[in-house]
Amino acid sequence: MVKARKGVNRFWSIAMTIVCVLWMYPIFMVLMISLKTPTAISTSTAFQLPAAETFAGLDNYVDAIARQGFFSSLFYSVFITVTSVFAILIFCSMFAWYITRVRTRFTKLLYGLCAFSMVVPFQMVMFTLSNMADTLHLRTPWTLWIIYLGFGAGLAVFMFCGFMKTVPLEIEEAAMIDGCNPFQTYFKIVFPLLRPTMVSVSILEAMWIWNDYLLPTLVLDIDKYKTIPMLIQFFKGSYGRVEWGPMMACIMLAILPIVVLYLLGQKHIIKGVLSGAVKG
């Protein structure tokens, strides 16, 4: 029995290692192409390891950073990600606390709608969303967080509600007996308890918002505002020639911050997901 279990564990370890390699291979190819000269990229040696005559060093990265609009796109991506994640954490956690503690048919309906929103494909609402954003004047980076708040609320509310169901109600009752109003109870008692779930939700939402291409392209005025994913498609030279080296370098620069963020907080993601997966 023990030998059979060890064999199964070894099999899954090998299988998951193969899957991991397959997932990492495209990233490795992007990194390799970003270090090559334009001549090497346009020939049959594009997918071979860089040699002395095909190695471009950091020239493509310098070109990508020096490209017009890179720093403004970086600023827009950072601003949109930070404001959207902040809004999702504050508003969704307060909403989840309310519908968890106030158990009525209406709050149950609201929870069901939030859970249902996670299974609705974005393609079903993207055209009406674009029209609504235009009507409400939300086509700027300064207001895009409102739209991300709506799309990110489903997962955030689901995880926050799952965690809140594990928090004893007596803690909040004791705070109210001591004279705390609902806002003081939330920010002084509930908010610190939500820290593990806060970290996991913030990382998951930041990964999604930072890498998102479709929603900003539909909503933002592309002639005025471009995020990093939107900027990547504009690496073209004369006669529509694609500059693969700087483009791949820009992709690596876009990947690096979110990969570092994930590596720093991966243990919190697992802890927060497990704490938010309680049925109720």
Query: Cα–Cα distances in Å, from 164 out to 87, 98, 158, 210, 266?
Result: 19, 10, 10, 28, 21
User: Domain check: are 169 and 243 in the same one?
Assistant: yes
- For the segment 11-27, the average pLDDT, to the nearest whole number, is 87
pLDDT of residue 7: 75
Query: Cα–Cα distances in Å, from 138 out to 66, 75, 131, 209?
Result: 30, 18, 10, 16
Render 239-279 in DSSP notation, one character per residue: GG-B-HHHHHHHHHHHHHHHHHHHHHHHHHHHHHHHHT---
Separation of alpha carbons 45 and 48, rounded Å: 5
Residues 6+ apart with CB under 8 A from 52: none
* Spatial CA neighbour of 76 closest among 229, 257, 241: 229
Query: Cα–Cα distances in Å, from 79 out to 14, 187, 227?
Result: 41, 25, 10
Q: Using an 8 Å Cβ cutoff, are 125 and 111 in contact?
A: no
Separation of alpha carbons 76 and 61, rounded Å: 20
pLDDT of residue 176: 84
Q: Residues in the chain, how many?
A: 280
Is residue 263 domain-resident? yes
Is residue 174 domain-resident? yes
Q: What is the DSSP letter of 236?
A: B
User: Domain check: are 93 and 151 in the same one?
Assistant: yes
Domain assignment of residue 79, given as a range: 67-275
Measure CA of the first residue to CA of the last residue in the chain; give whole Å: 36
Separation of alpha carbons 211 and 174, rounded Å: 43
User: Domain check: are 85 and 107 in the same one?
Assistant: yes
pTM of the model: 0.84
Q: Positive or negative CA dihedral for 158, 163, 167, 173?
A: negative
Tokens of 163: 């965690």
User: Domain check: are 246 and 196 in the same one?
Assistant: yes
Last residue in a domain, options 33, 57, 81:
57
For the ranges 5-14, 228-237, 239-248, 263-272, the lowest mean pLDDT is seen at: 263-272
User: Domain check: are 129 and 182 in the same one?
Assistant: yes
Q: What is the pLDDT of residues 97-155, one digit of tens each?
A: 999 888 889 988 988 888 888 888 888 888 888 888 888 888 889 999 999 998 888 88
pLDDT of residue 279: 45
Scanning 187-243, the segments in alpha helix (DSSP H) are: 191-193, 195-211, 214-219, 228-232
The continuous run of DSSP H or E covering 34 comes out as helix 2-34
| Number of domains forming the structure of the chain | 2
Residue 237 has pLDDT above 60, yes or no: no
Is residue 62 domain-resident? no
* Spatial CA neighbour of 208 closest among 270, 262, 252: 262
Last residue in a domain, options 38, 57, 76:
57
Is residue 90 domain-resident? yes
For the ranges 56-60, 216-220, 230-234, 269-273, the lowest mean pLDDT is seen at: 269-273
